[in-house]
A and B are shown apart, each in its own frame.
Chain A
């Protein structure tokens, strides 16, 4: 997996002239957010509310007090971790759209360890998180193997495995581990398996730091190690990476397994840190939010921290917005949809432009 250092092309050699890449990306992101704000404002006007009032309430709901800020961070936590999971794959030129399913499997595995075993505090939570990681990796193992061995499109196989994961965890929750007399949820986990809370005013827990540490760790891995470089090289140009001596099949398998493992951890952090049990359909959409956050950050793990915080703040703010204004919380969904449109347009534009220069950013 190591590349002789003199084979490294200077990164700038592949780049377009003019603006530095980061500036170009930042401008692109700003345009995406700008367009979605304008689009959102139009929708708000259509329902007869003042966009200014709605946006002000949105901001106050997201950052109005320490409690509300903690609420935003709480919402951002699973998106950061799921986003890092998506980044791992994106940087290797792969798409893991199955973060959602890995998150469910990881969440269930962590809860299962939490309520089935009695272990000393500290050890219990670590074992539960390890279970989440293993469950996530196992859940992507089949798509990963098929991608590496037969070149099966991982987008399709990971998307399909999402449905299976949601339904399997539903089945396990309702038919095997249901708490008697309750809603469709398992027994609560033992307090020894709780992720410690940061303060009493919110359910915010150290899962946030886990997410940030993962993002920084991935960034360092990609930029400072030769293994990380071989991943980036694959993502930029598979042919070139192969020519440079990277074992593509092995890398595909390892990258997707790691991506799935992080996805599983995202679910584990949710059950161990927030819900303290597994509920059927407990976190719909977080996996997809993570993928979107990673795309918006253009696959940069540090960028994911920013985009996930942005989405978290939007979600937290929207909860107050719905109570205090006449705008529905779905305005936020419209917002996100505009962002996705803009980002996919950018990817398309870049791909078209860059492909003439021998560079291919994402596979499709």
Chain B
């Protein structure tokens, strides 16, 4: 009896060794992510990507919440980088850039990936979403609806745009939208305005009301919290607005036409996948546009059946046109 048990034990030990050996040859990838926003829109998207990679590839995950004390950031980066334990470290949040760059100098071998922004450090990887492509799609959709006088689009041949501040990156949104309207919807024009701030929903609401008052039926906003006010105004005025960055359809169901999504989850998952499959992440910019699935225009479920089928078909053509390079979206810079 005892001998039997011993055999069993030996057998399972052997099995464990074999299994262990199998794991070791694949060598578990260790990934850390550091940000103060894991509970908010964009951060949730990153988390989703990480979780999916965890289930699909068995990577080991470490989530570090920075909190909001600037004093802590440097130590937090150093604690992660010091052991050299993590293969990749995802970073999100502009307030972390200073500490990130210091840590990058102190630990040049640690691979950091900064999400959503262009940094001035050649040794770091940064993920940049091609917003102008998504904005082109927004322009195409809203322009076509206005031109076709679809339901809720009767009053004018103008579509609206509200930007946060007049800075290059927000200009890219506007340029993309204008190009989309010009090329896909003849006779429609864009009426644009900048709020001058990203933090003032009341101002966003006020500007949106003015545009709606002028007969604009839909407004695309790229204005952070200011844009929340635009979405609320769409509800109050009974008109349409288009969300940005994350799925904002639920903010004012029925009045949000679509959301231009930056798929941080796709980017994160994709980079980890590449790493697992032997295509390691390299320093420098990584662009995620329509082709890579990093940019997507999601039409809100609540309004999907109000959009004419031919508009949907045409939009899909435009999307694949951008994806395979037939349509080139110009940049502001």
Contacts and interface: CB of A to CB of B under 8 A. Distances in A.
Interface of A: 61, 71, 74-75, 78, 183-184, 203, 270, 274-275, 279, 281-285, 315-316, 319-320, 322-324, 328-329
Contact of A319 (B75, B94, B97): B75
Nearest to A78: B71
Interface in B92-106: 94-95, 97-98
> Would you list the 9 A-B pairs with minimal beta carbon distance, nearest first?
A323-B79, A183-B94, A319-B75, A282-B70, A320-B79, A183-B95, A284-B68, A319-B76, A279-B70
Contacts of B72: 315, 319
Interface residues of B, number: 19
B20 interface: no
Nearest to A203: B74
Given A322-B64, A322-B65, A323-B79, A274 B95 contact: no
Contacts of B68: 281, 284
Contacts of B95: 183-184, 279
A281 B68 CA distance: 8
A30 to B, nearest CB: 28
Contact of A275 (B62, B70, B76, B94): B70
Interface string B39-76: 00000000000000000000000101101111110111
A270 B72 CA distance: 13
Interface residues of chain A: helix, strand, loop or mixed (majority): helix
B311 interface: no
Contacts of B76: 319, 322-323
A71 B77 CA distance: 13
Nearest to B74: A203
Main secondary structure of the interface of B (DSSP, over half): helix
Contacts of B70: 275, 279, 282-283
B155 to A, nearest CB: 36
Interface string B76-119: 10011000000000000011011000000000000000000000
Given A75-B71, A329-B67, 13 more contacts: A74-B71, A78-B71, A270-B71, A275-B71, A281-B68, A283-B70, A283-B71, A315-B72, A320-B79, A323-B62, A323-B79, A324-B79, A329-B65
Nearest to B198: A174
Contacts of A329: 65, 67
A282 B72 CA distance: 11
Nearest to B96: A183
Contact of A71 (B65, B69, B75): B75
Given A319-B72, A319-B76, A323-B80, A183 B97 contact: yes
A316 B67 contact: no
Contacts of A203: 74
A75 B80 CA distance: 19
A323 B64 contact: yes
A4 to B, nearest CB: 48
B182 to A, nearest CB: 30
Contacts of B75: 71, 316, 319
B13 to A, nearest CB: 25
A315 B75 CA distance: 11
A122 to B, nearest CB: 25
A203 B72 CA distance: 11
15 contacts: A75-B71, A78-B71, A183-B97, A183-B98, A203-B74, A283-B70, A284-B68, A284-B69, A319-B76, A320-B79, A322-B76, A323-B32, A323-B80, A324-B79, A328-B65
A252 B238 CA distance: 58
A316 to B, nearest CB: 7
A315 B72 CA distance: 9
Nearest to A279: B70
Contacts of A322: 64-65, 76
Contacts of A274: 71
A6 B67 CA distance: 55
A322 B75 CA distance: 12
Nearest to A175: B197
A278 to B, nearest CB: 10
Nearest to B73: A319
